[in-house]
A = this chain, B = another copy of it.
């Protein structure tokens, strides 16, 4: 079965741009964050609530390839898919597209582990794990 991509839309702010007249590269990771939060919400997991229950998912790896410049005031769509899931880690994949086309402006991924309130690694809660596994691309 093909899992549908989860799509999150962002409008480029002036704050996102740099003097090259394009979006500063580090900003893409904030979009990735917003996109995965919405992906999780769409699956029934509010990340905020996870933290309230003592489960944190810090980023342990982040990557982005920049293909085409993204400009001020553009609407971009971030397509997020779940790439890999284990008890210890989750990898999410992102593709940044234009408002009306699927041409990749950029592509990236983030890897997350699970830690407790004490900052120590822990296994993913069973229900969270199942949620992720059921939605792996």
User: Which positions in A face B, CB cutoff 8 Å?
Assistant: 11, 13-15, 17-22, 24-27, 29-30, 33-34, 37, 46-48, 56, 58-66, 69, 72-73, 110, 119
15 other A-B residue contacts (CB within 8 Å) besides A19-B20, A25-B58:
A11-B34, A13-B34, A13-B37, A14-B19, A15-B26, A18-B18, A20-B56, A22-B58, A25-B110, A26-B30, A26-B33, A58-B66, A59-B66, A60-B66, A62-B64
Min distance, Cβ A29 to any Cβ of chain B, angstroms: 4
Dominant secondary structure at the A interface: mixed
Beta-carbon contact of A30 and B15 below 8 Å:
yes
Taking a contact as CB atoms under 8 Å apart, the answer to whether B66 and A48 are in contact is: no
